[in-house]
């Protein structure tokens, strides 16, 4: 091959390789998975604040709908009416950028329409991914230490602040920042740090991971959605990824009829 042909072919090969990588990343659909290969999809482009009817986005189905089953216990943090007819169990990682996307873009509307109205109770389970450690597990335990001192209300205040302040990907928060969040929320920061560093809730986090894996979770965020049962068993749909609000709405509404 002469120099001229080589010069033309190399950029073409680079371009083709870049295209293949981009397609591979987009196919992950808003979830970070446990495994040998981890891809982080780009953040979605901002949409016009008032799209025309022709441009309005159509409702999207969840990336994956499958059966999921898990059990809610008295140790789990709960937001909303504990007797709500529907239960949404979220398996999440405080250092996962897609979990933060869900918190920023979908959770507020879910809270307003379903959780605060008594229709759905949200149960938060920890699923810290190993490549986001040590901070992912540290933050999971910190939130549980907050719950230990102030109940579910303190837990979700801590939960909210960590997601608001993190930049994600394993180094979104420092230990000093977690300590400051505790102090800002009126918790005893020294006691919270001692609780975390003493691994008081190490076993609970490990159980969350085990329960999530048994339910079919292999990445974050993932959700098990089903009717609320007195037994605590949630048997229903497994929703995977940082799905749009419409995906949750289309799955929840039939359960409320």
Which CA distances in Å does 202 have to 142, 196, 256?
Answer: 10, 9, 36
Q: In 3-state terms, what secondary structure has residue 69?
A: strand
Q: In 3-state terms, what secondary structure has residue 126?
A: strand
State residue 146 phi and psi, 5-degree precision.
-65, -40
Alpha carbon distance 96, 90 (integer Å): 13
pLDDT bin (cut points 50, 70, 90) of residue 66 is: confident
Q: What is the pTM of this model?
A: 0.78
Nearest CA to 84 among 202, 217, 225?
225
The whole-number pLDDT of residue 29 equals 57
Q: In 3-state terms, what secondary structure has residue 53?
A: coil
β-strand pairing of 86-92 with 120-126 = parallel
For residues 34-55, give the mean pLDDT: 36
Neighbours of 21 (CB within 10 A): 11
* Torsion region of 209: left, alpha or beta (phi above 0 gives left; psi -120 to 50 gives alpha): alpha
Tokens 């008295």, located at residue: 74
The half-sphere exposure of 42 on its side-chain side, counting CA atoms within 13 A, is 8
Which CA distances in Å does 168 have to 8, 109, 121?
Answer: 40, 22, 26
Lowest-confidence pick of 33-37, 223-227, 234-238 = 33-37
pLDDT bin (cut points 50, 70, 90) of residue 32 is: confident
Tokens 């080589």, located at residue: 6
For residues 114-132, give the mean pLDDT: 97
CATH assignment of 65-256, among 3.40.190.10, 3.40.50.920, 3.40.30.10, 1.10.3720.10: 3.40.30.10
pLDDT bin (cut points 50, 70, 90) of residue 52 is: very low
Query: pLDDT digit string (tens) for 149-202?
Result: 999 999 999 999 999 999 999 899 999 999 999 999 999 999 999 999 999 999
């Amino acid at each position: 091959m002469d120099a001229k042909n080589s010069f033309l072919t190399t950029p073409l090969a680079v371009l083709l390789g870049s295209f293949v990588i981009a397609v591979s990343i987009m196919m992950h659909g808003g979830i970070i998975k446990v495994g040998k290969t981890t891809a982080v999809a780009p953040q979605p482009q901002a949409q016009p604040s008032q799209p025309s009817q022709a441009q309005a986005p159509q409702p999207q189905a969840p990336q994956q709908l499958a059966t999921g089953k898990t059990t809610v216990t008295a140790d789990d943090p709960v937001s909303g009416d504990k007797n709500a007819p529907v239960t949404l169990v979220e398996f999440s990682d405080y250092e996962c950028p897609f979990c933060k996307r869900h918190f920023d873009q979908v959770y507020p509307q879910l809270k307003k329409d379903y959780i605060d109205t008594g229709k759905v109770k949200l149960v938060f389970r920890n699923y810290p991914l190993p490549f986001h450690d040590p901070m992912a597990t540290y933050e999971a335990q910190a939130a549980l230490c907050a719950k230990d001192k102030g109940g579910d209300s303190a837990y979700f205040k801590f939960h909210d602040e960590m997601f608001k302040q993190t930049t994600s990907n394993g180094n979104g928060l420092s230990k000093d920042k977690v300590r400051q969040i505790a102090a800002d929320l009126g918790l005893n920061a020294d006691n919270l740090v001692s609780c975390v560093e003493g691994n008081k809730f190490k076993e609970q986090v490990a159980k969350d991971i085990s329960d999530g894996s048994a339910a079919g979770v292999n990445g974050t965020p993932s959700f098990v959605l089903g009717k609320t049962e007195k037994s605590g068993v949630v048997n229903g749909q497994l929703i995977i990824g940082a799905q749009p609000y419409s995906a949750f709405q289309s799955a929840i509404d039939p359960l409320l009829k």
